[in-house]
């Protein structure tokens, strides 16, 4: 039986037409999808799971080049491999080849899509020179994937980028998902496993469906339950 989410995906794929790496004017375009676990995929991947997601994989253990040059070379290698392997070898595993620096580079530059291309279908875009990386998401473009208690920070989208953790702003929506403020598009999603891991820190009043407080490092913090 086709699930509701699968029907939406099938309907979406019929409505939009693009080709990965297509050149429009002076720009080369790629299309991505981020799921509710913060996993990044090529949007046209038929099977979206952990094994087919983009994961950090270092091409260089040491480089005498500057960080900027290393990143540019990394991205060049990534897209060369992606274009070659996708078009000629057709092996799903190699879709996962992506350096951690690319993930950082991608999400550092992610913003609202204010171009004249695919605004409705891909609300977000990450620009890299003449390359336009369009993004759509299962819920939010920013997904908090780990929580660092030592320095009170989140990691986002399975990369090394960190944002401050502010427990008073944790907010549980009616859909049962947990959210936290983010720089892009107001707020981000806490991935479900991480939400479950910190659930025992929440305190509920007897007559409240939403948590009212959060116990963190021995301190009971009142939740604002709004952004």
Examine the domain organization and report whether 132 and 150 are in the same domain: no
Residue 129 and residue 52 in one domain: yes
| pLDDT of 44 above 60 | yes
Structure confidence at residue 94 as a pLDDT band (50, 70, 90): very low
- In the chain, the DSSP E strands lie at 22-24, 27-34, 40-42, 55-56, 97-98, 110-112, 124-128, 131-137, 143-148, 153-156, 162-164, 171-172, 178-181, 187-190, 202-203, 213-216, 219-222
* DSSP letters for 180-215: EE-SSSSEEEEPHHHHHHHGGGEE--TT-SS--EEE
| Domain ranges, residue 205 | 143-222
Residues 154 and 121 in one domain: no
CB 100 within 8 A of CB 56: yes
Q: Is the pLDDT of residue 141 over 60?
A: yes
Query: Is the domain of 114 the same as that of 211?
Result: no
* Same domain flag for 25 and 61: yes
3-state SS, residue 79? helix
> Do 93 and 155 fall into the same domain?
no
Same domain, 169 and 87: no
Pairing relationship of beta strands 162-164 and 153-156 according to DSSP bridges: antiparallel
Cα 101 off chain centre by: 14
Q: What is the pLDDT confidence band of residue 142, given thresholds at 50, 70 and 90?
A: very high
More reliable by pLDDT, 86 or 219? 219
- Same domain for 193 and 152: yes
Q: Please give the tally of structural domains in the chain.
A: 2
Q: Is residue 8 part of a domain?
A: no
Last residue in a domain, options 80, 103, 137: 137
Q: Choose between 164 and 93: higher pLDDT.
A: 164
What number is the average pLDDT over the span 17-44? 94
Closest CA to 53 of 64, 63, 40: 40
Q: With 60 as the cut, is the pLDDT of residue 7 above it? A: no
Please give the full DSSP string across 59-74, using - where no structure is assigned: S-S--SS-HHHHHHHH
My answer on whether 33 and 49 are in the same domain is yes
Least reliable range by pLDDT among 25-34, 63-72, 164-173, 202-211: 63-72
Report yes or no on 13 lying in a domain. no
Rounded Cα distance between 175 and 79, Å, is: 37
The answer to whether residues 49 and 110 belong to one domain is yes
Q: Is the pLDDT of residue 66 over 90?
A: no
147 and 133 in one domain? no
Does residue 9 fall inside a structural domain?
no
- Is 2 a domain residue? no
Residue 3 within a domain: no
158 and 193 in a common domain: yes
Task: State which of 122, 137, 152 marks the end of a domain.
Answer: 137
Question: Average per-residue pLDDT in the chain?
Answer: 80
> Which pLDDT belongs to residue 226?
86
Q: Average of pLDDT values for 214-222?
A: 97
Which of 137, 172, 187 is the last residue before a domain boundary? 137
């Amino acid at each position: 039986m086709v699930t509701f989410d699968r029907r939406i995906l099938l309907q979406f794929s019929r409505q939009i037409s693009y080709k990965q790496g297509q050149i429009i004017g002076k720009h080369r375009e790629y299309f991505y999808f981020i799921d509710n676990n913060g996993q990044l995929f090529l949007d046209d991947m038929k099977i979206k799971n952990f094994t087919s997601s983009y994961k950090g994989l270092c091409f260089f253990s040491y480089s005498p080049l500057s960080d900027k040059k290393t990143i540019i070379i990394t991205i060049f290698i990534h897209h060369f491999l992606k274009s070659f392997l996708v078009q000629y070898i057709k092996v799903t595993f190699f879709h996962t080849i992506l350096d951690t620096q690319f993930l950082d580079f991608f999400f550092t530059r992610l913003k609202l899509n204010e171009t004249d291309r695919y605004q409705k279908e891909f609300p977000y875009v990450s620009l890299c020179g003449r390359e336009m990386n369009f993004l759509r998401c299962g819920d939010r473009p920013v997904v908090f994937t780990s929580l660092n208690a030592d320095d009170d920070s989140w990691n986002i989208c399975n990369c090394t980028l960190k944002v401050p953790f502010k427990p008073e702003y944790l907010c549980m929506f009616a859909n049962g998902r947990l959210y936290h403020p983010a720089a892009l598009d107001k707020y981000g999603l806490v991935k479900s496993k991480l939400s479950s891991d910190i659930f025992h820190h929440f305190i509920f009043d007897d007559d409240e469906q939403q948590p009212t407080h959060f116990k963190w490092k021995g301190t009971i913090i009142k939740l604002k339950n709004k952004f």
